[in-house]
Amino acid sequence: MIAGRGRRIRPPRRGLGTSDAVDFDSMWDVLASSLREIHTKNASKLSFEELYRNAYKLVLKKRGETLYIRVKEFEAEWLAKEVQPRIIEELSQTLLLATSGTQMIATANEKRVAGEKLLRALKQAWEDHNLCMNMTTDVLMYMDRVYCKDFRKPSIFSASMGQFRDHVLRTPLSDNPDDQISIAHILNAVMLDQVQMDREGDIVDKSLLKSCAYMLEGLYETEDEDESTKLYLTSFEPEFLRASEEFYRLEGAKLLLEADAGTFCKDARKRVNEEEDRCRSTLSPLTLTKVKSVVETELIKKNLPEVIALEASGVKYMLDNERLLELELIYELSARVDPKKEELRKAVQARILEMGNDVNKATVAATHTLPKPSDQDGDKAEGEEKASEKPVSQQTTAAIKWVDDVLQLKERYDNVLTEAFKSDQGLQTAFSRSFTDFINAFERSSEYLSLFFDENMKKGIKGKTENEVDLLLDKGITLLRYIQDKDMFERYYKKHLSRRLLMKRSISMDAERQMISKMKMEVGNTFTQRIEAMFKDMAVSADLTSNYKRHVAELGDPDPKRAEIEVNVLTSTMWPLEAMAPSYNDGEDRPRCIFPPQIERIKQGFEKFYLDKHSGRQLTWQANMGTADLRAYFPEMKGAKKTREINVSTYAMVILLLFNDQPPGGFMTTEEIQARTNIPLNELTRNLQSLGVAQKTRVLRKEPMSKDVKIDDKFYFNETFYSQFQKFKIGVVTSGNKVEDSQERSETEKKNNDTRGGVIEAAIVRIMKQRKELSHQKLIAEVIQQLTARFMPDVNMVKKRVESLIEREYLERIEDREPAAYRYLA
């Protein structure tokens, strides 16, 4: 193209005349002597250009191959004759002995000195070689560029590196063919030795080690310089890993024997960090992960289970003594070897279970060591005295203590979890599971938890700020989360709540509402529906009462002696009525209390008022739940004012009003009172006890004076009664919420099971309606899945319910179906 423009291209002048081109040998002589100069560090006399030009010419004249081979030979000779002997010189006898496997006589110090000497010599040789080869390569650049590329030879640099490997490191030291020890072997041994010394705490020259490792990294098995064939990887690293394995196996065994778990952990972590450091600063980063895994398997993985289980200082000890730092270490180590932290999890879980069971046991023990007359003889009339009141309240205390203990335990482990275990997800679920396990292992947990709330609602939250209350409730709710039998809890909670509401024991309605909304969030809507209905009843009743009062006022009843009434109308399905009147069995008509005429009148008035408003409803009066304020006149009382206002239960009021009709000094026996009031005997005795026996509120005088109320005891109006208070309250012995005795408990359980039966049936029908046909296994699985939010259904119970549904023709078995299956019958 250029020629096409009409210009002539000047032929290149023969700058490289034929005369000086052919004479290979003389040019090589120049080159060889120059290379020698380079090796002896006399390069400054040489002209790069001249050498380069020589090499350039040789390659141009197609003598590249010869040149290449000559250079290689030259290097080989140089290394073998000059470098290796110098290194061998530095080899002391001790090293030879040490590596050939004979007795290690040398002291550590001698060994170190000898080793360092060798390493230093090698390092020197290596550095020299590298420098020289860099220069040589520069000079022979043209050859590399043209000849090596064209003929696919490794560059002269890598070729000479190979020479170094073969002639310095790999040449056997002795001619004896059996004795194949070469410098490479010794080098490995020395390096391992140095690392070992470093591990044992001796000071070694790390930079020296590093440069030797670096040298090995720079050398390859073949001239292709494949990354994976670095001498470091092929010869040193396996040895190193083997040695490390050995070292850490011994170390692990030693530590297990000598140290406690805390020390072990500290040491293990230190070792891991050390190895990391070593790889970074002394050896090669390539080894980092490998040696780490060696340490992890040898030191940690193989020993960790034992460490965790160590009797005196293992995880158990750490947990018990709040050794958060050590726990954190253990956690870290476990995380290293096992992402699931199986061992640690097991250990901690076991410990939580153990401690939880301890709490359970302690509570059971606390309740059982006390005499419980009411439980033992089952006769309440006898048992309900002050003496028996004490263990009962102690049981309640025990219940609350149980909750407190559990909460404390929970708090502790939460702390451990966040502080030491970095809020690990897996461990958290493990913790929860353990808590669930032991809480549910304790059969009274739902009752106790409800009691705990009850106690706090009645007393505990007094004087606490909103936040504190909130915190307290939240804690309780966390426990509720662990409880499986939530329906059981609901039952107890309703019972306790109804008492609180009716007797106005609750301190703060706000707190109650808060609690309910919390439960709603936690367990769901259905759970709190009924409880909310109870609150609604209370509100409606308050309205009703005020309406009634207005109604009475409008009627214009002038009777000043007329008693006022406050009524709570409760929807019977929502309220746990059986819990309020425990002594009646269902179906049995409860005897109606006979009210004195003045009260009866009001009662009827209200009934009329109510039924006018809501026709078709039935009112049942629960006299056992009410209270009354009385003004009583004690003629013989000391002091100026002889009237007192007394707050008593409705029954007590009825009893006391009877005495209005008695002449002064007149008496009634228990039997008479019962006949005239129709109060159930056990309630009557209880009320008479508080009226006639209790020291401070002895409004009635009993004959004979004794603790028990017998059927033919005589009661007088106590005219000489004295109380320093103008207003006081006569409590009935069992008005508070307390732990159930075993009889009550089995009753509750029975009722609960009945309810569960219904719930299960409902669930079965729901599922079958949707699915039409379903196998037995699947049906059971779905039922359980639907119900676990409320309670853990018992499989046998589910089966029974299915049977009963088949009997009632809601379902049928599908014939000839294997496995068994059911069909829904519309």
Chain positions contacting other proteins, by CB under 8 A? 2-3, 5, 7-13, 15-16, 43-50, 52-53, 56, 131, 134-135, 138, 141-142, 145
Nearer CB in complex with other proteins: 82/138? 138
Token representation of residue 787: 């119900």
Token representation of residue 29: 């002589």
Phi and psi torsions of 79, nearest 5° = -65, -45
Nearer CB in complex with other proteins: 137/394? 137
Nearer CB in complex with other proteins: 145/727? 145
Question: To the nearest whole angstrom, how small is the minimum distance from the Cβ of residue 203 to other proteins?
Answer: 32
CA distance 517 to 527: 11
Question: To the nearest whole angstrom, how small is the minimum distance from the Cβ of residue 81 to other proteins?
Answer: 23
Nearer CB in complex with other proteins: 3/203? 3
* Best CA proximity match to 304, nearest among 324, 329, 282, 330: 330
Nearer CB in complex with other proteins: 64/476? 64
Question: To the nearest whole angstrom, how small is the minimum distance from the Cβ of residue 326 to other proteins?
Answer: 53
Nearer CB in complex with other proteins: 3/553? 3
Question: To the nearest whole angstrom, how small is the minimum distance from the Cβ of residue 15 to other proteins?
Answer: 5
Q: Listing from the earlier edge strand, what are the strands of the sheet with 727-729?
A: 627-633, 643-649, 727-729
240 in helix, strand or coil?
helix
Nearer CB in complex with other proteins: 38/523? 38
Nearer CB in complex with other proteins: 119/140? 140
Token representation of residue 337: 């070897």
Nearer CB in complex with other proteins: 140/688? 140
Nearer CB in complex with other proteins: 23/377? 23
Strand blocks (E) in 445-599: none
Question: To the nearest whole angstrom, how small is the minimum distance from the Cβ of residue 3 to other proteins?
Answer: 8
Question: To the nearest whole angstrom, how small is the minimum distance from the Cβ of residue 28 to other proteins?
Answer: 18
Q: At what angle do helices 24-39 and 48-60 cross, to 10 degrees?
A: 140
In our burial notation (b when 16+ CB lie closer than 10 A, e otherwise), range 21-57 reads: eeeeeebbeebeebbeebbeeebeebeeeebbebbbb
Nearer CB in complex with other proteins: 50/803? 50
Q: Are 747 and 663 spatial neighbours (Cβ–Cβ below 8 Å)?
A: no
Nearer CB in complex with other proteins: 133/654? 133
Question: To the nearest whole angstrom, how small is the minimum distance from the Cβ of residue 33 to other proteins?
Answer: 15
Q: Are 544 and 611 spatial neighbours (Cβ–Cβ below 8 Å)?
A: no
* Best CA proximity match to 548, nearest among 563, 570, 533: 563
Question: To the nearest whole angstrom, how small is the minimum distance from the Cβ of residue 135 to other proteins?
Answer: 4
Pair type for strands 700-703 and 811-813: unpaired
Nearer CB in complex with other proteins: 211/282? 211
CA atoms within 13 A on the CB side of 78: 23
Residue 644 belongs to what H/E stretch?
A: strand 643-649
Residue 367 belongs to what H/E stretch?
A: helix 342-368
CA distance 395 to 196: 65
Q: What is the Cα 90 distance to its own chain's centre?
A: 61
Token representation of residue 526: 């259905």
Question: To the nearest whole angstrom, how small is the minimum distance from the Cβ of residue 7 to other proteins?
Answer: 5
Question: To the nearest whole angstrom, how small is the minimum distance from the Cβ of residue 100 to other proteins?
Answer: 40
Alpha-carbon distances of 708 from 681, 729, 787, rounded to whole Å: 13, 21, 48
DSSP 602-634: HHHHHHHHHHHHSTT------GGG-EEEEEEE-
Q: Are 498 and 737 spatial neighbours (Cβ–Cβ below 8 Å)?
A: no
Question: What does the DSSP 8-state code read for residue 285?
Answer: G
How many other CB atoms are there within 10 angstroms of residue 9's CB atom?
7
Q: What is the Cα 116 distance to its own chain's centre?
A: 52
Pair type for strands 643-649 and 727-729: parallel
Q: Are 716 and 700 spatial neighbours (Cβ–Cβ below 8 Å)?
A: yes
| Max Cα-Cα span within the chain | 161
Question: To the nearest whole angstrom, how small is the minimum distance from the Cβ of residue 184 to other proteins?
Answer: 28
Task: Give the CA radius of gyration of the chain.
Answer: 48
CA distance 248 to 425: 31
Nearer CB in complex with other proteins: 54/737? 54
